[in-house]
Amino acid sequence: MPSSDESATTVQQTTGGTGSPPLVLPPAGYELGEVIGKGGMGEVVAAGDRRIGRPVALKRMRDAAPAPEEVARFLREAQIQARLDHPAIAPVYELGIDTAGRPYFTMKRLAGTTLRELIGEAELARLLRAFVEVCLAIELAHTRGVVHRDLKPANVMLGDFGEVYVLDWGIARVLDHSEMRTRGDIPTLPGQTAAGAVLGTPGYMPPEQARGEPVGPAGDIYALGCILFEILAREPLHPRDGALASTLAPHDGSPARRAPARAIAPELDAACVAALAARPDDRPSARGLAERVQRYLDGDRDLDRRRALAADELERAQRVLAAGDRAGAMQAAGRALALDPTSRAAALVGRLMLEPPDRPPPELALRIAEVDHAYMRSQWRQVGFAWLSMLATLPMVAALGVRVPAFVAVFYLVCGLLAALSFANVRAARPWTKLVAVLNIVLIVLCTRVTGPFIIMPVILCITVASWVSYPPLIDRPIVPALLGAVAFGVPLLIEALGLVSPTWRVAHGEVVAMSSIVELGGTPTRVFLIVGTIAGIAAGGWLARAIAASRRDLQRTVETQAWHLRKLLP
């Protein structure tokens, strides 16, 4: 409701309430409902005008025997609001005296949401359109000799159908005293607006009002600047704690500098800075402020100012890039490009996006680590299936004739463990990398005991080394996979040379002979096993290499596609 007393009240569920006077009906024709607002000396009741069938809000005094000065204040508020006939100011319908001799007045009953609740939630264009309406309503008040003196987001209401209302004219100052004389001022919010001292709400009043000086129309302009600042920066100009001290101290009224990440339009930033000028004479009129915001909404842009700001941002981008702040350079260059699409910032943005940094910033490094982790999960899954495929050779090994069943059982048990660990590493936060490496070497050593070091085993060893070389943590350390392969190949040769186990190969009479103490080698089963095993190993290696290459290719295509779109986007 647009009065001073209800803005700091809570809705009551029954008519009256503690401290309320006995229910006294106004003149015939009104039906009273629940109390919807209550303040220091008055209360607002939802009512119905039976004569013309419309809902109204009826404000009446709470005190059964109000002092003459209080009555004068109450009547003054109704008279001020009634003389401001603007769509954004709730009209007063009737002013009268109830049966107990107390004044009351009825006005339009409002419904909606305050601007304070919508800042940060509603679209910027909607808030700016509402702001223009508020400015024009204040311009009308100024032409009628009225200064609001308590403008703030909580005193602006937006209706569900595009309506905008300026509320709370309780401490308005009348500059023209020919019709009304100010005998005192009505507090707006207990604890925030004190009667007889500093009037208004700290954080939105101008410096002259905070000093207790007379406030003219320029004081409302400063409050409008505070509202516009909050709309643009999504935070108040002055902090809630220490708002008076902040108001009196020199402060920067630029929302663009306060919230650079929001990319605030320079036209709106300049309008806000002008409204928040320290000297009242330097502030525009309410209509002038409204026109500047409306021109922005209509698409009018100050191209010269934008080019100058773009040049400043580009210079800043180059300066911070030279200092090593790549992220800051990207942000500054992006703002320059948004301000002026023809700026040379396009080349800098393209270079920063397409050329990788020597040392990625922490945020980028974290994202790269996430990509590598996703790739590792995919690779562990592929390796798991590769180890599972080793189990398919069991029937062929059994067909050869097994001499040491326990050895064969251990061999395929290790294959199963490697498959299980690979699939577990898909979801593990810290993969069992070292254990897998050890089991890899054990398996290769066992494989050597079956067919010797030069048959089938080299294929398995190549697949293993290739998978380790492409593992992201080891890509930049190829010496580690090479050493693993050398150890896996050399350990069987070493233990045979030391006579710890029976030999699996020999060179004699121009022949390299493979021997096995684990299975029977000879005849058709051996030929089938050697041919099929070798082909299967080659196929598995090719499939793994193809999967790795496909992942890399897809990533590269994604990067190139993004780069192509970026080149087409930038002028």
What is the SS3 string spanning 232-262?
HHCCCCCCCCCHHHHHHCCCCCCHHHHCHHH
To the nearest whole percent, how much of the chain has pLDDT over 90? 26
In DSSP notation, 155-202 reads GEEE-TTS-EEE---TT-EES-TTT--------SSTTTS-TTSS-S-T
Q: Which amino acid is at 94?
A: E
Residue-level pLDDT at 570: 64
Mean pLDDT of 224-229: 97
As given in the structure block, the two tokens for residue 138 are 């204040």
Q: How many CB atoms lie within 10 A of CB 491?
A: 15
Give the residue, 441 or 227, on which the prediction is more confident. 227
Give the residue, 24 or 62, on which the prediction is more confident. 62
Mean pLDDT value across the chain: 83
- Look at residue 23 and give its three-state secondary structure: coil
For residue 185, name the pLDDT band (cuts at 50, 70, 90). Answer: very low
Residue-level pLDDT at 165: 94
Residue-level pLDDT at 123: 93
Give me the catalytic one of 5, 150, 168, 340. 150
Q: Say if CB 82 and CB 3 are below 8 A apart.
A: no
- Please state the CATH superfamily assignment of the domain spanning residues 6-108 in this structure: Phosphorylase Kinase; domain 1 (3.30.200.20)
Q: Which CATH class is domain 113-188+197-297?
A: mainly alpha
pLDDT tens-digit readout, 441-492: 888 888 888 888 888 888 888 878 888 888 888 888 888 888 888 888 888 8
In DSSP notation, 376-407 reads HHHHHHHHHHHHHHHGGGHHHHHHH-BS-HHH
To the nearest whole percent, how much of the chain has pLDDT over 70? 90
Residue-level pLDDT at 28: 62
How far apart CA 107 and CA 59 sit, in angstroms, is 8
In this predicted structure, the answer to whether residue 246 has a pLDDT above a threshold of 80 is yes
Looking at 13-27, 112-126, 342-356, 553-567, which range is the least confident one? Answer: 13-27
For residue 156, name the pLDDT band (cuts at 50, 70, 90). Answer: very high
In this predicted structure, the answer to whether residue 186 has a pLDDT above a threshold of 80 is no
Sheet holding 156-158, edge to edge: 113-114, 156-158, 164-166
Mean pLDDT of 221-237: 96
In this predicted structure, the answer to whether residue 559 has a pLDDT above a threshold of 60 is yes
Helices (H), 452-522: 457-469, 472-475, 479-497
In this predicted structure, the answer to whether residue 270 has a pLDDT above a threshold of 90 is yes
For residue 569, name the pLDDT band (cuts at 50, 70, 90). Answer: low
In this predicted structure, the answer to whether residue 10 has a pLDDT above a threshold of 50 is no
pLDDT tens-digit readout, 389-406: 778 778 878 887 888 889
For residue 191, name the pLDDT band (cuts at 50, 70, 90). Answer: very low
pTM score? 0.59
Residue-level pLDDT at 198: 60
pLDDT tens-digit readout, 127-146: 999 999 999 999 999 999 99
Mean pLDDT of 270-274: 96
Please report, in angstroms and rounded to a whole number, the separation of the first and last CA atoms in the chain.
52
Residue-level pLDDT at 55: 93
Residue-level pLDDT at 325: 84
Mean pLDDT of 10-22: 38
Q: Is 150 a catalytic residue?
A: yes
For residue 190, name the pLDDT band (cuts at 50, 70, 90). Answer: very low
As given in the structure block, the two tokens for residue 444 are 């290769």
Sequence-ordered list of residues with C-beta below 8 angstroms from that of 41, at least 6 positions apart, any chain: 5, 61, 62, 63, 66, 70, 73, 74, 186
Residue-level pLDDT at 7: 33
pLDDT tens-digit readout, 81-102: 888 989 999 999 998 888 778 8
For residue 387, name the pLDDT band (cuts at 50, 70, 90). Answer: confident
pLDDT tens-digit readout, 277-335: 999 999 999 999 999 999 999 988 778 888 888 888 889 899 988 888 888 888 888 88
